[in-house]
Amino acid sequence: MSQITLQADVGSLSISGLSAFSSTLTALSADDVAPLAMLQMEKLGSLFPINGKYALQVPDLLQRCKSTRVDRLGLLIGWRKGDAASLMAQYAGGQAISLLSMCIMNLYDNSNAGRLLVELSKKMVPQEMAISSPSQLVQVAKTLGSKLEVVGFGNILASQIEMILDAYKHLKKPVPNNFLDQITPEDMAVLLHAITRAVGKESIVVRITGSRGVGHILAMVTIVFPEDAFVTMENVVVFQGLRKSILIEFTDSDEVVKVQVESKLQIQSALSILPIEKYAKPHDMATCHGYSYKWTGCLADILQVVFMEDGLICPENLRVACCGMFEPLSKSHGVDGNQFDTTGRLGDYGLMHLLGPYPRERIDKICQKTWRIPPGWAIHSSSLESAFDDLVLAFAEATAAVSCTCGSEKLCSTRFGWKNIRQTSAMRSCPLYRLWEAVGESICYGFSCLFVNADDGATILHPGDGSDYRSILRIITDLLNVRYRDNSVWSIRSCGRIIHACITHLCSRQVRHVAASSNSSTVYMAAIQTLGLPNTMNSLFILTEGQLVFNSRSHTLLNAVGFDRPGADKNIHQATQPIIPSSIGEHSNLEMTIRESIYDLELTSTILIGGQIVHLNMDSIIAASWGLYEAEPCGHNPLTTPLESRYEDAILTTSVASPVESKAMNKTSIVLVSRNPVAQLLSCVNTAGSDSLLQKDCCLNCAYEQAVKGDHRMIIAA
C-alpha cells in the first residue's frame, strides 16, 4: 500500500481554509496574541538553551489549568486548558522564551520591553521571520511570562541581594549602591546576544565586569542560565555552576559595565568590549515598578530591594517594628485618635472587626508569612504613638549610615510622619526620604494584606507610585498628632475605600474594582462569592493565582455598574402594627450578570422587589458594608420587643429598594430584612457623614438610642 502525504499550499490558503487550524487559532485569539508573533518568539527562544531548577519547572507551569469557579457569576479565576502558554510548553524554544519573557517583563515596562524584543529579533532571528510589531511581541511576552510569575522574580532578586550584601560584609568592603540601576533595552539586547554565543559554544565565554546594573543581570542569569554562571565579588568566588560560560565579576565601580565575548583558546584575538550604560531616569520614578513577588516573604523582599538601592540590609527588627504598627493602626482607624483603648474587646475598635473572629492571631499569622519574622514576634503596643516610636528607633538603627540631603531644615525627618505637605524635589532626591517613604508604603501595603486571604501560588506587584498609599500615611499622621494635624475624623467607611484601592494595587495599577488581575494573580471581593456581611467572613478579599476568565477569554478587571438607590419617603410597615424586626423589606430575587466591554468585564446586579426591578452597584454596596457597626447587646429580646411609640415619629421603616430615608425627612431608617443575610448585605449603602448600625443582639429601642448617640442614619434589622 502506497504512502500518501497530504500537502497544502499555505500561501494560497483561503479564509475558510483556516478552519483546519481552528483549535490553535481559538487559543491564540483568547489570549489576544498574533500567531506570527508567537512563531517569532518561539524561534527567538530556541536560541536560548535554558537550564537549572526553574527551567525544569517551566513545562508544568505553562501547562497547568487549575481554576476556581465563582458560581454566582459564571466566572473562572485560574488558567484555561489549552491556552497560548500551554502551546509553547511543547517546544524547547517556547519554554525558553517564556522564562526569559517573565524576566524581561519584571525589568521593563511595555514600551521598553518591546524595544528589547525587537532588538533581539534583529540580531538573532532571520529577517523573513522578524516581522511582528513591538506591541505584538510584548503581548506574547506578557501572556507567556504571566504564567511563570509564580517563580517570584522579586523574591529571587531579593535573595541575590542578600548574598551580595553578605559577601561584601565578609570582605569588609562598602557595598556598591548602583547594581540595581536599570540597563537600557538596547544594551540588554547586546548582553543577551553575547550570552547566547557563550552558552551555545563551549569555546566561548562572556565576561561581565562592574557593578552598575549587574544585580539585574545576576538575577536573570540565576533564573535562566544558573548552570553556566561563575560569579565573583572583588575576586572572591561566591557562586559556581557546572560550566563557566557566563563570568560575572562584581567590582565596585561607577564606570559602565563591560561585556567581553572571549575565546577560551585565543583570548587575545577574539575580544569585543561592549559598554553598558545606565538607563537614566528621574529621581521620582521607581526603578522597580515591574517586580513581581510570591506571597510568601513578599513584603520582606519588597523592602529589602528598596533598601539595597542604598547598599543597606533591611534588618529583622525593622520588619518587626513595621508589623508592630498593625494592631494599633487597626484599632485606631475609624475612631478618634483619643479613643484608643486596650481594655475592651478587640472587635470593638476601628477596623479590627473586619479581621475576623481572632484578629490578633490573623495579624500574627500574616506577618510571619509575608514579612519573614519568627513566631512570638508580636508586640502589643499600648498606643499607636508607642508603636510609631518603636518604628522610628528601628529605622534610625537601620539607616545610621545614610545622611539626609534635604538641607539644614531636614524636612524628611521621621518626626513629621509621612504628611509631606511641603514635599520638594530636594526631598525626592534624598536617600533618607526615599527609605522612609518606602517603609511607609510597605506598612500600607502590609496593612492592606491583613484583609486578604491568599493562596501559596499567588503573586503581588511591587508597590506603585500611588496616592492611595499616601492617603493611609496621612491618616496615620493625623492619628499620631505628629504635625499638621487637621483634626480629621476618618470613618471606617472612608478608610475602607482607601484600603480597597491599596488591595486592588496588589494586582493592578487600577483602583477600586470588584476584581483585578495582573494576568498571573487575581484579587477579588470575597462578598461576591459569599454574599454576606464582613462579620460572617474570614477576610474581605481573596487573592489567588490565575486570570479572570469569562467566555474562555482572559480579562484584567471586573467593574460593577449600577445606580444609587433613591431615598425612601414613606414607611413600608402598616401603621396599625407594632414595629418589630421582620423581613417585609427583603427582595424576592437577585440576578447578577456579566458582559464583556472593550476594556473590562461589567457586573450588572438587579433585584426584584414589589414587582419592580431595582439596579444595584455591588462595588458600592460591599464597600459600604465595611462601615457597618454592630449594636451593643442589651438584655431585651431582639426579635420580639417592639419599638416604643415615643420613637415612631423619629424613624422610617424601609426596604432593600430604598434603604436610607430621604435627607429632607431627617429620620433614622430601619431596614426590615431580619434573618436574611443577603438582604442585609444589599441594604448597605454609603450614607454621607455616617456609618450604619446592625441590630443583631439588641432590641430596636436600644439600637435606636445607640444610633442617635453614634450619629448612625440607618439601622439594619438582623
Note the pLDDT of residue 4. 41
| DSSP result, 469-521 | HHHHHHHHHHHHT-SS-------HHHHHHHHHHHHHTTT-SS-S-SEEE-SSE
Q: d(Cα 256, Cα 601) in Å, to the nearest integer?
A: 47
Q: Which SS3 state, helix, strand or coil, does residue 209 take?
A: strand
Element (H, E) at 715: strand 714-716
Residue 74 grid coordinates: 459564571
Give yes or no for a contact between 203 and 338, defined as CB atoms under 8 angstroms apart. no
Note the pLDDT of residue 483. 39
- Looking up cell 447578577 gives 592
Note the pLDDT of residue 20. 54
For the chain, which residues make up each domain, given as ranges?
17-150, 153-276, 292-454+463-506, 557-716
Q: d(Cα 570, Cα 589) in Å, to the nearest integer?
A: 23
Strand partners, 44: none
Contacts 24+ apart (CB under 8 A), 334-343: 334/490, 334/491, 334/492, 334/495, 334/627, 336/489, 337/384, 337/478, 337/479, 337/480, 337/481, 340/383, 340/384, 342/380, 342/382
- Biggest CA pair distance of the chain: 104
Within 10 A of 296 (CB to CB), how many other CB atoms are there? Answer: 17
Q: d(Cα 146, Cα 110) in Å, to the nearest integer?
A: 13
User: What residues contact residue 500 under an 8 Å CB cut-off, 6+ apart?
Assistant: 511, 512, 623
Integer CA distances (angstroms), 362 to 5, 65, 317, 429, in order: 65, 30, 20, 37
Helices assigned H by DSSP within 125-235: 134-146, 153-171, 185-200, 214-224
Integer CA distances (angstroms), 570 to 573, 664, 713, in order: 9, 12, 15
Within 10 A of 138 (CB to CB), how many other CB atoms are there? Answer: 27
Note the pLDDT of residue 70. 86
Note the pLDDT of residue 285. 38
Output b/e per residue, 655-678; b: 16+ Cβ within 10 A: bbbbbbbeeeeebbbbbbbbebeb
User: What residues contact residue 463 under an 8 Å CB cut-off, 6+ apart?
Assistant: 302, 441, 442, 444, 445, 469, 505
Note the pLDDT of residue 706. 94
Note the pLDDT of residue 562. 87
Within 10 A of 441 (CB to CB), how many other CB atoms are there? Answer: 24
Give yes or no for a contact between 325 and 388, defined as CB atoms under 8 angstroms apart. yes
Per-10-residue mean pLDDT, the chain, length 718: 43 53 75 92 96 96 91 88 92 97 95 96 92 96 96 94 88 84 91 91 88 91 95 90 91 78 58 50 48 95 90 92 90 53 43 85 94 84 83 93 72 64 58 87 91 93 71 72 45 70 85 88 93 85 93 91 89 88 94 92 94 93 88 93 93 94 84 95 80 91 93 91
Q: d(Cα 218, Cα 463) in Å, to the nearest integer?
A: 23
Integer CA distances (angstroms), 430 to 99, 281, 310, 407, in order: 36, 15, 11, 10
Phi then psi dihedrals of residue 369, to 5 deg:
-70, -45
Helices assigned H by DSSP within 510-593: 527-530
Sign of the C-alpha dihedral computed for residues 357, 363, 368 and 373 taken in this order: negative
Q: d(Cα 128, Cα 136) in Å, to the nearest integer?
A: 16
Torsion (CA) 50, 55, 58, 59 in degrees, nearest 10? 80
Q: d(Cα 463, Cα 546) in Å, to the nearest integer?
A: 20
Sign of the C-alpha dihedral computed for residues 124, 126, 127 and 129 taken in this order: negative
Looking at residue 228, the DSSP 8-state letter turns out to be G
Note the pLDDT of residue 410. 58
Phi then psi dihedrals of residue 396, to 5 deg:
-60, -40
Output b/e per residue, 538-559; b: 16+ Cβ within 10 A: ebbbbbbbbbbbbeeebbbbbb
Q: d(Cα 668, Cα 649) in Å, to the nearest integer?
A: 10
* Residues in the chain, total: 718
